Amino acid sequence: MPTALFDKVEERLNSPDLRPRRVLDRCNVETIATTEFALDSLTNHGRLQQLGLGARIRTTYRPDDVCDPEVPDFANNLARFGEITGKDPTVWAGMLDAHRVRRAQFRAMGATATDHGTPTALTVDLAVTEKQALLDRALAAKLDPKGAELFRAQMLTEMAGLSVEDGMVMQLHAGVRRNTDPVLLSQRGPNLGADVPVRCDFVGGLQALLSRYGNSPDFRLIVFTLDETAYARELAPMAGYWPAIRLGPPWWFHDSPKGMRRYLDAMHESAGYYNLAGFNDDTRALLSIPARHDVWRREVCGHLAQMVAEHRLSLSSASELGEWLCYNAAKEAYRLP
């Protein structure tokens, strides 16, 4: 019986109407974005452009491979980064130039946003000599965990600066302890599970980045968290103050019916609905995407319906907000044409 089920699933998955582009058509997906690392060749996106799909399937610049000195082969990654871009990534300014080159290439493949995954939300704004010293030690593989944390923290601030330059929307996914099962990690490799959210300090963490770029008129930072305690305490007040900040939708463990309700309830009063980034999900499971958006639409409507029932919103405002939260917000937040 289990085998029969798997066979049936396999058969369905191979049917033409479940091919990826057919799914996009049937589910009325206007735009979908992948993330590629800084060293990715973008060949597939090039092919998609040739097929006329460039506006529908966009890439996103996710340079963790050259921003996190704790990834394996970091020094090699930086060397390749230099080769690909013709810049010298062994000096801090050259490394930033290499990012500029790649960001432009990603934009040519439809990217409107960057994405950054870090264990914490720490950012710093160090002096040039300190930055170069961190880079030297990273290239020599001599950074201790605290140095690696500082390196990532400085890179977030740099990425914000580059977003101010080129207008790409910056996304931050912070606050996960990855690979907590050493057996899984050694047998199957990284990023396959046993990731657990941890507490995240956005107020202290983002202080350096926001002090530097928080008032730049065109800067936009979409913040995602797995620590729901930050919703009402930190993120909603921060979004209420800083024009740059939009609040990313409930993410990963929290993109569920109750999780979405907690998010909407905790965020809207201090942040306002128009500081929410709408919904996107964060999955490799193509078929789950339309279903997740459906859940979001239902929960948004449930939330708004309660506001109407309690006479806190008019039906026409709720209707407008529903359309905003389910469609326009994401389009506007990500600066999609």
Cα angle value 237/242/247 (rounded, 5°): 65
Distances (CA, A) of 230 to 96, 160, 253, 325: 31, 21, 15, 21
* Closer to a second copy by Cβ: residue 197 or 322: 197
Q: Does 190 bind a second copy (CB under 8 A)?
A: no
Do 235 and 225 contact (CB within 8 A), yes or no?
Answer: yes
Which residue from 122, 153, 150 is spatially nearest to 137, judged by alpha carbons? Answer: 150
Q: Does 31 bind a second copy (CB under 8 A)?
A: no
Between strands 176-177 and 113-118, the pairing is: unpaired
By the rule CB under 8 A, 65 interacts with a second copy: no
The Cα–Cα gap between 265 and 310 comes to: 14
Q: Candidates 75-83, 105-113, 126-134, 180-188: pick the segment binding a second copy (CB under 8 A).
A: 180-188
| Residue of 104, 232, 308, 336 interacting with a second copy (CB under 8 A) | 232
Q: How far is the CB of 215 from a second copy (least distance, A)?
A: 5
Site membership for a second copy, residue 247 (CB under 8 A): no
User: Residue 274, interface with a second copy (CB under 8 A)?
Assistant: no
Q: CA angle at residue 207 from 201 to 213, to 5 degrees?
A: 135
Q: Does 177 engage in binding with a second copy (CB under 8 A)?
A: yes
Asked whether position 259 contacts a second copy by CB under 8 A, the answer is yes
Residue from 183, 217, 284, 316 binding a second copy (CB under 8 A):
183
Q: What are phi and psi of 88, to 5 degrees?
A: -105, 100
- Cα–Cα separations (whole angstroms), residue 85 to 42, 166, 235, 283: 14, 17, 36, 30
Please pick, from the candidates 41, 211, 314, 328, the single residue that binds a second copy as defined by CB under 8 A.
211
> Binding segment for a second copy among 7-15, 138-146, 267-275, 322-330 (CB under 8 A)?
267-275
Task: Specify whether the CB–CB gap between 171 and 116 falls below 8 A.
Answer: yes
- Identify whether the C-beta of residue 253 lies closer than 8 Å to the C-beta of residue 225: no
Q: Which two tokens stand for residue 205?
A: 């963490």
Give the separation between CA 310 and CA 270, rounded to whole angstroms: 19
- Regarding 194 and contact with a second copy (CB under 8 A), the answer is yes
User: CB 114 → a second copy: shortest distance, Å?
Assistant: 24
- Does 283 help bind a second copy (rule: CB under 8 A)? no
Burial bucket for residue 195 (CB in 10 Å: 0-12, 13-18, 19+): middle
Asked if residue 86 binds a second copy (CB under 8 A), the reply is no
Smallest distance, Å, CB 7 to a second copy? 26
Cβ 280 to a second copy shortest distance, Å: 19
Binding string, 295-314, against a second copy, x = CB under 8 A?
---------------x-x--
Binding site for a second copy (CB under 8 A): 177, 180-183, 193-199, 201, 203-204, 207, 210-211, 214-215, 226-229, 232-234, 236-238, 241-242, 253-254, 256-259, 262, 265-266, 268-270, 310, 312
